[in-house]
Chains A and B, each alone.
Chain A
Amino acid sequence: MPTQTDSHPATNFREVLQPSPFQTRIDEQCLVQEWMSWNGYKTARVFDTLASEYFAVRSTCSVMDLTPMEKYRITGPDAMAFLNRLVTRDISALKPRRVTYVIWCNDEGKVLDDGTIFHLSEGDYRLCSQHHQLDWLLLSSLGFDVNIEQETHNIAALAVQGPTSCSVLTAAGVTGVERLKPFDIGYSTLNGIDVMVSRTGFTGDLGYEVWADPTKALAVWDAIFAVKEQGLFDIRPIGLGALDMVRIEAGFIMPGDDFNTAETAVRADRDRSPFELGLAWLVSFKKPYFTGKKALLAESKMLTGRRLVRLSVEGNKTPTDAFLYDSKGGSRIGTIKSCVWSPILKMNVSLADVEFVKGKPPENIWAEIYYQKELEWRATWAKCTMSTKPFWSHPRSSITPPNKF
């Protein structure tokens, strides 16, 4: 006979979206109050206007709540060996206080997810990922003496990004920010609170991520925004909408948007290898064995049949979900995955899945764009140009020390 419990731990059917440790401030500052779910957290798409948030990233300083990002703590004697067997990149040389961008694959060499590995201190790692990975991490840990703990809810994180971000953090009292090179980690205090600061981000601009105990989250937020209160710099909280714009400009891919992750692929050929995503540079065949190596070695000897490429699209019609052709009205050779009108470049930029022939990209790519004005649908053709570099990058994003304001 079951006993009735006093409290019901499982009333979660009521609260579909979970509050972030920064929620109080987010609720105060969000004018639009339209919420979406990011990993189950209540997240703003826009705080005020998309344009103001976009330009905060590109011209001043933006702040975004990163807490919902999946985070795992990897420790134990085999932590490094475990991670090196997990990801395609050689991380054996990743020093403490350094961060690196990684992808990992299934046995067939198809990409499961991407993320970053933070080497916090000797043998102590944090893996941040786009999607839920606990099952895969634990499954991969067989034969390794390693401890894996999901810590998404235990770490509050803010992305402070934009040309004045270094000056803002310095003004807020964080020391040593200016000495951090890209992918460096530093430890400091903010308003008396211990914080970790990494020079990392998803915007393609100068930027930092600030990590702290969630119980201190509001104080961290306040310390940063105090810089704005003092009238020194403008700082804007931004939502997922602006982030999506800048990440496409920077050419960063989003698993689940730009390609189907291997774990969720149901139909044949819906998964993608690192080569097909243009991420061959992340695959090291010289390092010890990693999951998918055998399959990727075999694939590396064949010519790429398709690739995720950066395409700029002429004209002002946004090529959402457009089909791509080898000539106007010719054969279909691909589709647009993500696209955005870049306010700074004044052009449409996109990530697109394109068929290659004998390992070579098509000579010409045309997008057939369907768009509507006042409920009238039109179709038009736009010439596309492949770009090997990010659509937008600026020297300020990588120089150390950063420009001072």
Chain B
Amino acid sequence: MTKSNSVVIIGGGHNGLICASYLAKAGHSVEVLEARDTVGGGASTAAFAEGYRTSGLAHVLYGLNAKVCKDLKLNIVNPSFTQPVDTISLQRDGDHLTLGRDEVSANSLSAKDLEAYRGFKKEFRGYAKALQPLMMNTPPRLKDMDKKDKLTLAKLGWSLRFGLGTNSMREFLRVGGINIYDVLNEVFDSPALKGAISVDAVLGQHMGPRTPNTVLTYLQRLWGETQTVQSIPIGGMGKVSAMLETTAVEAGVTIRIGAKVAKILVENGRTQGVLLQSGERVDADIVVSNADAKTTFIDLVGAPQLDAMFCHRVNSVRQNGDVAKLHFALNELPAFTGLPTQQLAQRLIIAPDMRYVEHAFNHSKYGEFSENPVLEMTIPSVSDSSLAPAGHHVMSVSATFAPYHLKEDWQQDSRDAFVQRVTETIEQYAPGFSASLVAFQLLTPVDIEDQYNITGGHWHHGELSIDQSFMMRPVHGAAQYQTPIDGLYLCGAAAHPGGGITGVPGHNAAQRILAMGDM
């Protein structure tokens, strides 16, 4: 059976759905092909044990782009839909730090640190905002620029020079390329505070606080903060995807689940559509891939259709994940020392200081998981009791560092040992935690690769390092959402500006495709 579609989008993750919606709204015929039996990709809600459900991969919503929400009329900021959360950095002694958008509180913090936090967040959010023209546009090429490229560069230059002003621009140019460790040491005294902030710079990356580049990853996180308030979707991240699905369908998008793409068809350098694993051929004028670069180019297009060095670059993209996902079914709420129960709905992290985080990272460099992992935890059942049987709870944990390439492989022994490291870590902060465990699920980066079709199981489809960002994301030659194959575009986290539930790659890709006018 052969159908003729105008646009085929490979992968129904949130970026695929957002890109699809924009294109459909512009009057194009769009079909989204999703390999799994549900859309949403990493943004989903799934059962992990009989009667227990939670967000599949992503569990904290931050940075869903404001323009995307507005354009697509996504009513995300809505108390029945999302629960805004602060970040609580747990301390063994119970003097937890509560980090809000502008304020931080804890008994241990000095007045200087409290004040410095305000200034720091404001200043750094300023840098993040200054990058806005770059974030919301196709990254400009640096040679043979077209008008749009020049305009984007000019806007960026203006934003840095005059948006920030002389002093802030100088400071941005100084710190932009370095590590968060040195910056936080300049600004703060409290080891606990520095540890807590550093988590946002390294989570999801193969980086420790001392790795140069972590200021940039932190700014990307902060840019999210300028878009929407950090929150936890009530009912899990699948709710967000469901909303995006509805939006897409209403815009006229056709969504097919269980439709795994086996091949992107190319003739004379132009895409013709895709071939499904079922053998069905779906013709299309435009193919948009929401998959990572390796999957898209090496697996789906195939090296024979591409230049050799380009393939080498794609193959060299660093995208081995370091974050494992753990889901715990609990027969009671964990009792974190000194933490009032009503605070359990917040985003909880364990990262007592930067040295702890750095040590956790050290292991991953040598193919070991952290002896003392850094954890980001949510207990969504606090706000939505439907996620677990009555009186029971679910806890969703992002645990780093758990490298994709474990020296000993992720065989059962290693898996058990890692889960034990995580539960023991939590136990130190919430005595009795282990005893409340009913069931659990561990998703290592290898499992994430298998279940979510993300090569290397990397959150962002590739490290957000400078050499893999902007006009080099995922690789140069495919960094303007366009690819070497005419009619084939990228719209996922592999593309600028990267991962997180932001919708920006999907938005930017759609704008690019519409501007190309080759439909």
Contacts and interface: CB of A to CB of B under 8 A. Distances in A.
Q: Do chains A and B make direct contact within the complex (CB under 8 angstroms)?
A: yes
Interface of A: 81, 85-86, 106-107, 136, 139-140, 142-144, 288-289, 291-294
A338 to B, nearest CB: 29
A288 B309 contact: no
B315 interface: yes
Contact of A136 (B269, B305, B306, B308): B308
A139 B309 contact: yes
Contact of A142 (B266, B305, B312): B312
Interface stretch (B26-34, B296-304, B324-332): B296-304
B311 interface: yes
Given A289-B269, A294-B484, A140 B304 contact: no
Q: Which of A81, A140, A289, A292 has the most CB of B within 10 A?
A: A289
Contacts of B302: 143
B269 A143 contact: no
22 contacts: A106-B307, A106-B308, A106-B309, A107-B308, A107-B310, A107-B477, A139-B309, A139-B312, A140-B308, A142-B298, A142-B303, A142-B308, A142-B315, A143-B298, A143-B303, A144-B304, A288-B304, A289-B269, A289-B304, A291-B309, A293-B307, A294-B484
B304 A143 contact: yes
A293 B307 CA distance: 8
Contacts of A140: 308
B304 A139 contact: no
B308 A139 contact: yes
Nearest to B477: A107
Nearest to B306: A289
Q: Which of B305, B311, B484 has the most CB of A within 10 A?
A: B311
A107 B311 CA distance: 10
A45 B477 CA distance: 45
A204 B134 CA distance: 58
Nearest to A104: B308
A144 B305 CA distance: 11
B374 to A, nearest CB: 35
Contacts of A292: 307
Q: Which of B298, B302, B306, B477 has the most CB of A within 10 A?
A: B306
Contacts of A86: 308
B190 to A, nearest CB: 46
Interface in B214-268: 266
B406 to A, nearest CB: 25
B315 A107 contact: no
Given A289-B269, A294-B484, A144 B308 contact: no
A303 B44 CA distance: 55
B269 A294 contact: yes
**Overall SS of chain B's interface:** helix
Nearest to B304: A85
A144 B303 CA distance: 8
Contacts of B315: 142
A143 B311 contact: yes
Given A140-B308, A289-B306, 15 more contacts: A106-B307, A106-B308, A107-B307, A107-B308, A107-B309, A139-B308, A139-B312, A143-B303, A143-B311, A289-B266, A289-B269, A289-B304, A291-B308, A291-B309, A293-B307
Contacts of B303: 85, 142-144
Contacts of B269: 289, 293-294
Contacts of A106: 307-309
Contacts of A288: 304
Contacts of B304: 81, 85, 143-144, 288-289
Interface in B367-394: none
A81 B306 CA distance: 13
Interface in B307-356: 307-312, 315
Contacts of A85: 303-304, 308
A96 B517 CA distance: 47
A216 B301 CA distance: 47
Contacts of B305: 289
A233 B56 CA distance: 83
Contacts of A139: 308-309, 312
A393 to B, nearest CB: 35
B296 to A, nearest CB: 13
Contacts of B477: 107
B294 to A, nearest CB: 10
Interface string B476-499: 010000001000000000000000
B311 A142 contact: yes
A247 to B, nearest CB: 29
Interface string B79-100: 0000000000000000000000
B317 to A, nearest CB: 13
A281 to B, nearest CB: 21
Given A142-B298, A142-B315, A143-B302, A294 B307 contact: yes
A271 to B, nearest CB: 13
B298 A291 contact: no
A105 to B, nearest CB: 9
Q: Which of A81, A106, A142, A288 has the most CB of B within 10 A?
A: A142
Contacts of B308: 85-86, 106-107, 136, 139-140, 142, 291
A293 B306 CA distance: 9
Q: Which of B266, B298, B309, B310 has the most CB of A within 10 A?
A: B309
Contacts of A291: 307-309
A347 B302 CA distance: 52
Nearest to B315: A142
Contacts of B306: 289
A112 to B, nearest CB: 10
A106 B303 CA distance: 14
A292 B307 CA distance: 6
Q: Which of B266, B302, B305, B307 has the most CB of A within 10 A?
A: B307
B472 to A, nearest CB: 15
Nearest to B312: A139
